[in-house]
Amino acid sequence: MKLVISNLTKSYGSTLVLDDLSFTFEQGRMYGLLGRNGSGKTTLFNCVDGLIDHEKGEAYIEHDDGSREELDAHNLGLVLTDPMLPEFLTGYEFIKAFIEINGITPDRTISEYFQLIDIEETSQHKLIKDYSMGMKHKLQILMYLIARPKVLLLDEPLTSLDVIVAAEIKQMLKDLKEDHVIIFSTHILELATSLCDEIVVLNNGKLELVDNDIIKTPEFEERIVEILKGE
């Protein structure tokens, strides 16, 4: 299975953000998406997810037999930097409603799901508005641990989290990646190299794959800077 992005083009007025962008992401690999602030990482995710329109191009799932599958809410998940959750519900009520609305047959109880993300029983029944940012991010991740979409896009979900919560979520993602395509957007080089199998850089509206041989070497940061400078 692959996520194929083909000839994707997006502008804001006279500013070209995605320039006939094409790339193929493989199942079982976690990709780190690097780029400067304002380079278009969030725009790319929003175009793939269908949250915003674009002028040209498409994104779809390609199966091993060559058949295509359109992206929709059942096979694509988007984890946002700022979680958009119904804060008038408790965490327990939200996950229960999520399972029911999506027709998911759970393989655990709701309380067992919360145990996976280390949220105690008393916190499960608190309103989401009273959750910390780390707990809200865990709840976002839990949605997709339950739904298991084929493609998972993560838009800098660890930026504001403390070390322990970030480590827990990193392990969840590593456990999830085998049967999925996961793309992890960040501007933190150390996070990308510790978590991801492949590194791609978004610069001047194009994606470039970084040579895997240099990711763990001192030359890695230098090469990233060169790409971002267009050298």
- The total of structural domains in the chain comes to 1
Residue 123 has what pLDDT? Answer: 92
- Which residues span the domain enclosing 62? 2-86+150-229
Q: How far apart are CA 40 and CA 221, in angstroms?
A: 20
What pLDDT is recorded for position 24?
Answer: 96
Token code pair at residue 219: 């030359």
H or E stretch at 3: strand 2-12
**65 within some domain:** yes
What pLDDT is attached to residue 163? Answer: 65
Q: Using 50 as the pLDDT threshold, list the residues of the chain that sit under it.
A: none
Helix axis angle, 163-176 to 133-147, nearest 10°: 10
pLDDT score, position 91: 94
Domain assignment of residue 103, yes or no = no
Prediction pTM value: 0.82
The β-bridge relationship of strands 30-34 and 198-203 is: parallel
pLDDT at 129: 94
> The domain that contains 64 carries what CATH number?
3.40.50.300
What pLDDT score was predicted for residue 71? Answer: 93
Is position 145 within any domain? no
At 146, which amino acid appears? I
Structural domain contains residue 64: yes
Alpha-carbon distance of 143 to 138, in angstroms, equals 9
pLDDT at 97: 94
**Structural domain contains residue 139:** no
